[in-house]
């Protein structure tokens, strides 16, 4: 399974649950997570990094994720459909 398949599943499932899944790019700031999820009714936002099942978070990415977390935001990494389903079940509970 390729990373793009995992990302498509994330976007499709977010849409199904009324979650906006913006593709997040930040010119001039490398290593930001792939997606910014906005939960319905102002219930929050979080960042999601999408990886293939064998993909790994690079050290520079981890540093960026830790910086985001230090500001009080959530960053999740998903590698497969099961992790997406688990994350969305938690977010929509």
Q: Output 25 or 50, whichever has higher pLDDT.
A: 50
pTM for this predicted structure: 0.94
How far, in Å, CA of 15 to CA of 91, rounded?
13
Q: Which residue shows structure tokens 């079940």? A: 89
Q: Which one, of 4, 8, 1, lies nearest residue 53 by Cα? A: 1
How far, in Å, CA of 92 to CA of 2, rounded?
26
Q: How many domains does the chain have?
A: 1
Q: What is the CATH number of the domain that holds 81?
A: 3.40.1350.10
Let me know how long the chain is: 93
Compute the chain's Rg from CA coordinates.
13
pLDDT tens figures, 35-52:
999 999 999 999 999 999
pLDDT for residue 25: 84
- Whole domain around residue 32: which residue ranges? 3-91
């Amino acid at each position: 399974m390729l990373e793009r398949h995992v990302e498509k599943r994330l976007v499709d499932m977010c849409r199904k649950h009324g979650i906006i899944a913006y593709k997040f790019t930040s010119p001039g700031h490398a290593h930001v997570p792939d997606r910014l999820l906005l939960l319905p009714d102002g219930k929050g936002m979080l960042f999601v990094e999408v990886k293939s099942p064998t993909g790994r978070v690079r050290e520079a990415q981890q540093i960026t994720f830790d910086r985001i977390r230090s500001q009080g935001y959530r960053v999740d990494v998903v590698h497969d459909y099961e992790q997406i389903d688990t994350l969305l079940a938690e977010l929509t509970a």
